[in-house]
Structure 1
Amino acid sequence: MNLKTAFLLASLPAVNAFTLTMGSGNSFGRVFRISTWGESHGGGVGVTLDGCPPRVKITRDEIQVDLDRRRPGQSRITTPRNEADAVEILSGVTPDDVTTGTPIAMLVRNKDQRSGDYLDNDMSVAYRPSHADATYDAKYGVRAIAGGGRSSARETIGRVAAGAIARKILKQYNDIEVLAYVSKVQDIGCDVDDSTFTMEDVDANIVRCPDQAAAEKMLERIDEIRKAGNSIGGVVTCVARNVPAGLGSPVFDKLEADLAKACMSIPAAKGFESGDGFEGTLLSGKEHNDEFYIDPETGATRTKTNRSGGIQGGISNGENIVVHVAFKPTSTIGQAQQTVTRDGQEVELRGKGRHDPCVLPRAVPMVEAMVALTLVDSLMMQQAQCELFPNEADADSKPNPMGTTARREGGPREVVAAAAGDKPISQQIDEE
């Protein structure tokens, strides 16, 4: 073998690995990284979590709590598929429930799949409208008919399992909590205080809306749609509290950009907003800007309002992070629709099998998981880049600390009132 041939052969594995890593689309995160695997009607689904810090106490039961909130068969407004979604931890955690720092593999076995619902009727040859059937076939040239294969929401089991570990890390680091709720079903909204609602408030009804009066109206609408063999969509709002300032990076890795990718990767997600989002476009700059002030108790820099949703310039500012994720109506419905078969024939199709008339209640833990995973990944990158060497400058040379959990060393400075007739500070701005 000559030197040129040896060089080419040696380079092939690296090229193939690069292609698989960048092209497969089954992994998320950079430092705290997950890879999910499995199909809806296969033997099981699961996740490999790499980059988890060692010495984190996590039990199987803690992970199961989030999986129970995601699983099917919870109520009449979710798919009746009967799955316990019992998680098995295969690696990365000691017998006494402590992470080792090595990859954590978790498996949930499928128990109640009914592939015949897809294989023994016209759904085996016809594409379901607005589903992933046609686009997956166009990409791979192979049909994964039963349950939608990888496009099924069952894939999110791995995300939610890993998200439960991310939730534990966030809680342990800075008492960060990530909570979501159904904020809109079709045109029915709600009134919820994003600073005070709890998980117990969310789970108090099957719609998962903390506003009980609004939840009853939402449930009535979902039932009406369900009985008609149709489906309905809406919005999930997610709030992350006690997130420190400084997470996120400039330009391409802005925190809201990472959160958008995370949330838009969830099945049926069709829209993402950070803070006031599209409604903020109706305001003027004076109305929309979050003015700063000094917290009289902590001395930290705070904002009077939170229209930015806790993120400014792509970096967290220490206020509550608030995002909204829009979910479309479930694609599979019981009413007849026009579609085409794989060989190009126009046909009429009526969906069979088990599906959610509204994905929103089960989407709540999915959104929480993706936000938690994103925050842990961002937190670990912040630690690696900006906190590897502590800032040892004196307090007056450091920027004033920001956010709800920040506190100025030595307490707040003495506030000196502005003299009568003082004008605002003038600032010359020359932007592009």
Structure 2
Amino acid sequence: MPDIAMLSDAPVSWRRDLLQFRRYVDPLMSIITSQDTQTPFTIGVYGDWGSGKTTLLEMVDQRLAERHAEEFVRVHFNPWVHRREPEMLLPLLNALHNTVSADPKHRFTEMVKKLGVITMNLAADELLKKLNLGAVSVEKIGKLAQQYAEMRGQIDSQTGRLREALQEQADHLAKENRKIVFFVDDLDRCGPDQIIDLLESIKLFLDLRNVFVVIALSKDVVDRGVSVRYEAFKFPATVHIGDDYLDKMIQLPVHLYPLGPAEVGRFIRESGPGKLAQQHVAILEQTVTPNPRKIKRVLNLLRLTEAIIDATPRLADLHTDLIARLVVLRVQSPDLYAEVARLPTLLHAIELVHQHKLKYPPDWHDRFGEQADRLRELSDVYTTKYDFLALLFAKSAFAASADELSVYLTMIGG
């Protein structure tokens, strides 16, 4: 059997830019590297789950590394990795500390020392908060409380000077013609409180001269985080506090354009999709959700299904256009696919609905008898839930293969 090439969900290099992210990368590079761009400057990259936000951040980072390595200190921070931390400021500063510590030329020795002191004090604060007093005497509790109060005073003072200290370090780098760029990704995978904690830490401590922040955001997730954090304030429904919140911290919102059928089709053709996908690009570009992650999942499942068919002679006569449609259904509406796996006649029913061949209740009973009411109920639910079904079933012919539907469904997984 020949090798089966799968598409990874990892960010792609700008050299293999199948979705034309260069249209964002080049302008963003120009903004970040321009001597006339005033700092602090925060760029928000907005997009849905799987839309390519991480890829865009990676491409900007790659270009900076290749063309402007000496001009920028590039700091990468993934808050989701630190989601179990009580707050995000310490791991955020640790990311900066680790980046400058790892410099092979040891150009940031003084900065490393100062950041080390700051992070040690903040870490001590977190340890004191977690102090277990369960087995400590009343007398010792009093002493520990006094020690804690003294330490808190020192830490509060240090935290109060944190912004000033960070600005001092950023200015020091600027004298050497270097600026700091923070890349913050996977924020929308964190809990609502953590999302707002990090955004507020960025605003409070990284809103500095000579500092850029490029942060990937899902607007809906941030809106929910803001609503949870400020629920007690009972803002009217007409007040869009999520918009106002982000407007105060992001100077440039970059919204990833939704992909159209042409972009989806080009991505499929140029990604080495395999014979099955190539045969049915027209179906796929119209029905696959225009989201890079979804496209890759559909293509991967099609490649695996193609290999199964090639290795099973009795499957050679299956209609490949139905296979392509079912793979799209499997990936994009797993709940509907599960219902279809239990009741394959549902495919026939939904097909007839979208082909306008079931108009009146008697039509359902004439076609499906005792199953009619259940099929109609399920059809009503899913027809309104998924917009892509109209295109998926407009020219399908599942009814003609009714006797073999269980074979199709079992092969694809159900």
TM-score interval, smaller chain: under 0.3
Which structure carries more strand by proportion? 1
Which structure carries more helix by proportion? 2
Q: TM-score, normalised by structure 1?
A: 0.24
Q: TM-score, normalised by structure 2?
A: 0.25
Greater C-alpha radius of gyration: 2
